[in-house]
Structure 1
């Protein structure tokens, strides 16, 4: 299987590379349009600043490449956010797969820390289509996953799983061939490994 990971100026990419290697697949890390278009699966990970990321992606034409991919694509953390319409982080227009705007967490009490960091339970949406169920199957009744983020995607029509920190928000999303996780499956133990397996087995 040919798995491509989008190479751009974002942190945390090599932990995703290593997670895929642990599953027995050697991925390619690339910013080549041809390699991304010809891959069987594409992973769009990242940590970092949305404005800086979009500036890089647009300068290299990768925003249009990603938007026009037809194979399964998995956006992780900032990758989820960049697939939305707009982000408050840098007030930047993003790729626009999901008709949603990325917001910054606003603490409502002293205990609320930003960035949100740590293990949180995710809750499956009551109504998911069969394609969305493929990503989230075999996770157990109360899956916990690892988050690190200051910005979130509000719950919307494409939300297939939620988490709750300060308010409910999108933990996973799905539209067409695009799937996302706000959390880091590569840092989420057995649950995260199962999600990556589910994606690779699509």
Structure 2
């Protein structure tokens, strides 16, 4: 199976690669359109800032290509946010895969939301084998609002989308590559169960 990781100015590409290698997958890290289109699965990771990330995607002509992917795609952290319509971070127009707004946590909360938190209201095969008591690791100051595309929730001052799903596009706000056994299970489910 060919798994591609979208190459752009995201900070966690290496740790995602290592997590996949632990599952027996050697991913290809690339921004070459033909290589991305030829992959069986695509992972869109992200640590960084929405505005500069979208600038890179535009410069690599990925902004128009990515919403047209037909194979399963998994966004991670900033990857989830960039797959939404708009982010309050730098007032950024994003890829628009999910018609969802990304908001900054309100001023009363410590940001970034950093550390381990539980997920709940799980739907679908991405979370097969996980329970509502499982913890995932988060580092983020922005969140995707709850919507019809929400397939898992996390609470931090309010309930927000811990994961989104629309057609062949999936995304998680937490870092599965840093979330021990529960995170490894999410990656394994994406590789083995999502068609």
Tell me, yes or no, whether TM beats 0.5: yes
Q: Secondary structure at the match of 1:42?
A: strand
Instruction: State the partner residue of 2:10.
Output: 10
Could you tell me which runs of 5 or more consecutive residues in structure 1 were left unpaired when the two chains were aligned. Answer: none
- Which digits, 9 at most, give the CA deviation of each residue in 1:97-146, with x for residues without a partner? 101111001133xxx31000000000024xx4xxxx11011013411100
> Does the CA-based 8 Å contact 1:37-1:65 persist in structure 2?
no
Instruction: Quote the residue 1:190 is aligned against.
Output: 181
CA distance in 2, matches of 1:141, 1:15: 25
| Contact 2:149–2:166 (8 Å) recurs in 1 | yes
What is the aligned partner in structure 1 of residue 150 from structure 2? 159
Aligned residues: 193
User: Aligned pair 1:121/2:112, yes or no?
Assistant: no
Deviation at 1:189, TM superposition (A): 0.6
- Residues 151-192 of structure 1: CA deviation (Å, up to 9, x unaligned): 000111100000000111000110000001000000001000
Q: What CA distance in whole angstroms lies between the structure 1 residues aligned with 2:93 and 2:115?
A: 28
Cα shift at 1:67: 0.7
Corresponding position of 1:21: 21
In the other structure, the counterpart of 2:75 is: 75
SS, match of residue 161 in structure 1: strand
TM-score normalised by the chain length of structure 1: 0.93
**Aligned 8 A contact 1:82 1:94 in 2:** yes
- Tell me the TM-score normalized by structure 2: 0.97
Match of 1:61 in 2: 61
Distance in 2 (CA, whole Å) between partners of 1:116 and 1:62 is 29
Residues 8-61 of structure 1 show CA distances to partners (whole Å, capped at 9, x for unaligned) of 011111100100011011000000000111100000001000000000101111
User: Following the alignment from structure 2 to structure 1, what is the Cα–Cα distance between the partners of residues 90 and 131?
Assistant: 37
Superposition RMSD in Å: 0.9
Structure 2: give runs of 5+ residues left out of the alignment: none
TM superposition outliers: structure 1 runs of 4+ over 6 Å = none
Distance in structure 1 (CA, Å) of the matches to 2:132 and 2:7:
34
2:190 corresponds to:
199
Question: Is this contact kept in 2: 1:84–1:95, CA < 8 A?
Answer: yes
